[in-house]
Every structure is written in structure tokens, then in C-alpha cells.
Amino acid sequence: MDVCLIMSYFGLTKRNQQTYDLTMTAIEFTYNIHRVSKTLRPFAMRLTRDSEDANDLLQDTLLKAFTNREKYTDGTNLKAWLYTIMKNTFITNYQRMIRKNTFIDTTDNLHYLNSSESSTNNDAYSTFAMDDINKAIDSLDSAYKMPFMMHFRGFKYHEIADKLDIPIGTVKNRIHIARKELKDMLHVYSHMD
């Protein structure tokens, strides 16, 4: 049977058919976002460390994903795409907050000052910790490092297995071993918040 005949039978013109196709794509996209969005909340909590801020960040992320769905390439890792949107949204919001709390001193010195605090943060500890984490990851054997980093970036076990052309059980085992080695190497940080 002819497609045009079927379309005319249901009252669909070519233009209506294109709109129908876009609606189906939006519905499928919404379904896929809903499936993955449950894993975003813990990540939002890690970033914000506040339940209400995490809910706001999650809502902002999902809104940006829906409004920019045409930028998503079908077949790519949706979870990684959403995590990237969330991380970038968090950074942008944080920078906006910092700028809002910064004013220009109009005295002769013209210094930028943070109006909400009279003290400065010492980021040396977190810098040392990140350096230690990066060194520990770099010291992993490449057989363990690659699957671990892919999993950390949001790839699923089967995606890692396909990319590295190894069995899924091997992927799980290597990620487990990498985590164990990293935990042993970074045990000094286990007692800290």
C-alpha cells in the first residue's frame, strides 16, 4: 500500500507527518531521560551537599536537557551527557553566586573584595588530595585504569566491554580491582569528610 494513501486516509499531510515524527522523538527522549534521571540525584547531592540545592540542580539539568534535546546525538551515552550538563550547570551557578557576592571597592586601591566573608579559603588541602587521587589513578595498570575511567565517566559495563573488546565479567572484575587498589592507596583520606 502507498504511504501517501495511508497518510491521506488518516488525514496526515507530509507536514503533519513530520510533526508527528518529532513528537514521537520527544516522547522517546522524555522516556529515556526519565529512566536515567534517577541516577542523577546522588551526583547532585555530591556536588551541592544540600538536599534542596540538589533538587534545584536536578530540575535545572532536566530542563536544559529537554530544551536542548536537538543537541543530543542519538546513540551516544545519554547518562554521560546529562552528567556533563549537571556539572556545567553547577559550575555556572557557583560562578554566578561568587560574582554576585563580589563588588568593586571604589577607593583609590580598587581591590576586588568578597563582601560575604572577611576570611579566605585555604584550598591547599583539597589540592593535595586531588593531586594524590590523580597520582593514584595514574599509577594503576592500564588494564585496570581504562575500564575504571570509562565507568567513572558514565559508561555502562556492556559499553565498556564492547569498546575494549573484552567480556563483561572481565570489565566488572577490573573495575572492582581498580577501586580496591585506589582505596588502599588513598586510605589516608578514609577518615575525613
Given a cut of 90, whether residue 37 has pLDDT beyond it is no
CA distances to 26, 48, 77, 177, 181 from 161, in Å:
30, 32, 14, 16, 21
pLDDT digits 0-9 by tens, 104-148: 556 655 555 555 555 566 666 667 778 888 888 899 999 999 999
Residue 55 class from Cβ within 10 Å (0-12 exposed, 13-18 middle, 19+ buried)?
middle
Sequential DSSP letters for 22-51: HHHHHHHHHHHHHHHHTTHHHHHHHHH-SH
Nearest residue to 99 (alpha-carbon basis) of 79, 85, 116, 86: 116
Residue partners of 173: CB distance under 8 A and separation at least 6: none
pLDDT digits 0-9 by tens, 66-84: 888 888 888 889 899 999 9
CA distances to 18, 19, 62 from 55, in Å:
35, 33, 11
> Is 188 or 115 the better-scoring residue by pLDDT?
188
Given a cut of 60, whether residue 178 has pLDDT beyond it is yes
In this structure, the number of other CB atoms found within 10 A of the CB of residue 148 comes to 22
> Is 189 or 40 the better-scoring residue by pLDDT?
40
Q: Domains of the chain, with CATH numbers?
A: 3-103 (1.10.1740.10), 122-189 (1.10.10.10)
Q: What is the pLDDT of residue 186?
A: 82
> Is 43 or 126 the better-scoring residue by pLDDT?
43
Among the ranges given (9-13, 55-59, 67-71, 99-103), the one the predictor scored with the smallest mean pLDDT: 9-13
How confident is residue 21, by pLDDT bands cut at 50, 70 and 90?
very low
C-alpha cell at 192: 575525613
C-alpha cell at 139: 599509577
pLDDT digits 0-9 by tens, 140-172: 999 999 999 999 888 999 999 999 999 999 999
Among the ranges given (1-10, 48-57, 125-134, 165-174), the one the predictor scored with the smallest mean pLDDT: 1-10
